[in-house]
Structure 1
Amino acid sequence: MSGSMNLNTHEHMLRDKVILALNSSLSFPQVLEAARAPLLELAPSDSVALCLMRTTPVLDFQWLVPGHPIPLLEQYASVSDHDFVRAPIFARPNEVILDEEMLPRREYEHSLLYQRSRELGLGLEHVMAVLLPIRPDFLGALALYRTRRRAFSSRCATVLSSLTQHLVNAVRNCADLQTMTTGSHLLEELHGRPGTAYVVVELPSREVLRSKHAAVLLERWFAPSDLHASGLPLPLKERLDALVRMDADSRLEKNVWFSQQPEGYRTVRFIELPAGEGPRQWALVMNELPMSIPLPVDMRRKLTRREADIAKYLLRSWSSEQIASELVIAVDTVDTHVRNIREKLGIDSRMDLLYLAARFNKPV
């Protein structure tokens, strides 16, 4: 959902502050602390928490709570089997769920989590939460809490929904690049990998850093006549210039450049680095993907058999019409399956499916 919903001037200002905070750092704690105050005012709440979950080899949780601690979450391991929030949000990823949709109020008040929260002196009277699928093996869940008996409204859920893709993007960037430093240096470990390809650009067009493999890829991908005076290829320079001019909502769908070639796919993901002193910097992370990418096991497990079949064809870059003809089903049916695949895997586009499947088969 974009920022076009019916917000008043103050709400627009708060939403912009939250989005700015989500892009202010590649550190989970710093991002949460920066976003906490405007988020709690935008969707009136008393506290916020982010749960990071890894699904392999076993389900593992890490809670991050900015501001005052939430005692219940510090003891979460002992009550996790009784968490009534988990099943509803897992069933409806990327959708904000209110506690009244999770279970009836009578059951809510008799739940172990609610009772334990009261025993610990901070009764969590209401909660709304959203599951943020990042990768097949990595998820986030954001929860907002109220300690008074005043239920979250549907408007609160709509406001939080308008931020969901920004939250996904922020968690993904922090997870993927938390070992990056700001400024002109990338993580030593990342820098040392021979297959890692990235360029760091300081706006408006000064190149700060280029890995060895990036130099190899760019020379292979582009002719000298394709280069801008800055040294960046024109298609990448034009995409970066366009992203800088876009609002935060529009950037979400345009931050990956994609080119299909006979031998495979070429992708560049544009990541705005945290603000520091001086001009803003962007990292351009490059990958080459084979034409036929296997569907990773952990992705397949989240899909029905038919969805997995369609996902395999999507990874071959088949159109909906080609898939429908091959499987002898209607194009609308294929499109419905594609929407379900995107929702279950937490991806925004077919390009994201290619990118994540390749990455999961061979992590960068």
Structure 2
Amino acid sequence: MSTRPQMNSREEALILELFDVLLGSEDLSEAFQRARQPLSRLLPSDAMALCVSTLNPSAPYDWLLVNAPSSFFAQYAEVAGDDFVRQSVMRGPNRVMRDSEMLPRQALKRSKLYQYCRKTGMPAEYAMAVMLDVNQDWHGGLTLYRDGRRPFSDRERALLQWLTPRLAKTVRDRRFLSEQTSRGHLLDALFEHQGAECVVLIPPTRVILRTPGAMALLKDWFAPSEFGPMDLPQVLVEQLSMLSRQDALETSHWDVWERERPGLDRFLNVVFVPLPSESGPRQWALVLKEIPYSMPLPPAWRSLLTKGEAEVASGVLQGWENQTIAEHRRSATGTVKKQLNSIFDKLGVHSRAALMYRAALMLRTTRS
């Protein structure tokens, strides 16, 4: 997590306004359309674009926020392969980059993307961008553009870097809610989430709703002595209490919780989802799902990983330990550990369980 930069009273007020509009809508596109004004006042730019896509590099982008000439997007597909901004941020998820870190100035001006921008009237003399990795099977990209002689400053970069995990969390949560609510009411959709059970509650002590199988699933994974208030495991209550005290847009590995049990071919995954709230205390959904250890490597990952990394990832998805993977590949355990860390970095996950969860989501999406 980046350090919070020093802010003046105007910037503090804009941050509060930005957080308020991002949390005030269930729809991702609407949330960012409403956020455009405070964001552009906080980080002035001549053009702005936000899009989401799956992790497949060849997948098209869904443009959610566009403040740029329409002519730029008319034939963008023809220069997408030469988009050095996209290529640069894809190599470093959640790391803000300025154009000077992507290409030397002269190479930038010779690039196909730069020439295309000049042709279509896109003010792209300077750029600042970030890939919003959301720890799922898709990601987002935010780019700010400027013309003239106003490169983005170190301070502006630091400010966007501090905002990045909060924006990524908004994309993740709103994308999840948007996909589910396309079939009806938000809570109904959460309850119908494929293969999952759900508990909706107001911390610290009030349960609103449970899916029929939620209690049975919890009893399968927790001993009677582990249950506390609200007939929920004490560890989940404590986790939720901690999350509910955080910045509403704070992101953390703690909003995804896993439990493993020796001898089982699956693990329990719990995702804590803050629900939109216009007024009153905020409600949270706990989405509970069992994830199998043994599953194939998602096809889209093969274009992101080296051959060796793909072999290691496949071993992890079979439930193998590092030693077993090393023996199977006839390599050193240290090599497997190094490649596994590289896999985590490329896919934006922090643990073997999170890797399996993401694979399960991608495979489910492919099948559907």
Q: TM-score normalised to the size of structure 2?
A: 0.81
* Paired position in structure 2 for 1:71: 70
- The CA deviation string for residues 86-109 of structure 1, in whole angstroms up to 9 with x for no partner, is 322233333323223333434544
Q: Distance in 2 between matches of 1:350 and 1:302?
A: 17
* Paired position in structure 2 for 1:255: 255
Q: Is the 8 A contact 1:72 1:117 kept in 2?
A: no
Pairing partner for 1:291 from 282, 290, 293: 293
- Residue segments in structure 1 that go unaligned for 5+ positions in a row: none
* Paired position in structure 2 for 1:268: 270
- Percent identity between matched residues is 38
Q: Distance in 1 between matches of 2:91 and 2:207?
A: 44
Alpha carbons of structure 1 residues 214 and 35: separation in structure 2 relative to 1, 3 Å? same
* Paired position in structure 1 for 2:200: 200
SS in 2 for 1:162: helix
Q: Distance in 2 between matches of 1:338 and 1:15?
A: 37
- The CA deviation string for residues 312-345 of structure 1, in whole angstroms up to 9 with x for no partner, is 34445666677668755364x5444233212211
Q: Is the 8 A contact 1:71 1:122 kept in 2?
A: no
- Give matches, 1:205-354, under 5 Å: 205-247=205-247, 251-261=251-261, 262-263=263-264, 264-315=266-317, 328-329=331-332, 331=334, 333-354=335-356
Q: Distance in 2 between matches of 1:126 and 1:141?
A: 16
Q: Distance in 1 between matches of 2:176 and 2:4?
A: 30
Q: Distance in 1 between matches of 2:338 and 2:247?
A: 29
Alpha carbons of structure 1 residues 122 and 167: separation in structure 2 relative to 1, 3 Å? same
Kindly provide the amino acid, as one letter, of the partner of residue 30 in structure 2.
Answer: Q
User: Is 1:148 paired with 2:148?
Assistant: yes
Q: TM-score normalised to the size of structure 1?
A: 0.82
Kindly provide the amino acid, as one letter, of the partner of residue 127 in structure 1.
Answer: A
Alpha carbons of structure 1 residues 245 and 55: separation in structure 2 relative to 1, 3 Å? closer
Q: Is the 8 A contact 1:51 1:141 kept in 2?
A: yes
Q: Is the 8 A contact 1:130 1:141 kept in 2?
A: yes
Q: Is the 8 A contact 1:54 1:138 kept in 2?
A: yes
- Residue segments in structure 2 that go unaligned for 5+ positions in a row: none
How many residue pairs get aligned? The number is 360
More displaced, 76-85 or 169-178?
76-85
Q: Is the 8 A contact 1:195 1:213 kept in 2?
A: no
- The CA deviation string for residues 124-159 of structure 1, in whole angstroms up to 9 with x for no partner, is 322111223446853321101123321123443333
SS in 2 for 1:240: helix
Alpha carbons of structure 1 residues 73 and 21: separation in structure 2 relative to 1, 3 Å? farther
Q: Is the 8 A contact 2:72 2:117 kept in 1?
A: no
Q: Distance in 1 between matches of 2:272 and 2:129?
A: 28
Kindly provide the amino acid, as one letter, of the partner of residue 228 in structure 2.
Answer: H
Q: Distance in 1 between matches of 2:156 and 2:24?
A: 24
CA drift of 1:197 comes to: 1.2
Q: Distance in 2 between matches of 1:141 and 1:311?
A: 25
SS in 2 for 1:275: coil
Q: Distance in 2 between matches of 1:206 and 1:185?
A: 21
CA drift of 1:28 comes to: 1.6
Kindly provide the amino acid, as one letter, of the partner of residue 230 in structure 2.
Answer: S
Q: Is the 8 A contact 1:24 1:275 kept in 2?
A: yes
Alpha carbons of structure 1 residues 163 and 334: separation in structure 2 relative to 1, 3 Å? farther
More displaced, 156-165 or 105-114?
105-114
CA drift of 1:273 comes to: 1.0
Kindly provide the amino acid, as one letter, of the partner of residue 285 in structure 2.
Answer: A
More displaced, 197-206 or 306-315?
306-315
CA drift of 1:283 comes to: 1.0
Kindly provide the amino acid, as one letter, of the partner of residue 71 in structure 1.
Answer: S
CA drift of 1:356 comes to: 0.7
Q: Distance in 1 between matches of 2:338 and 2:316?
A: 13
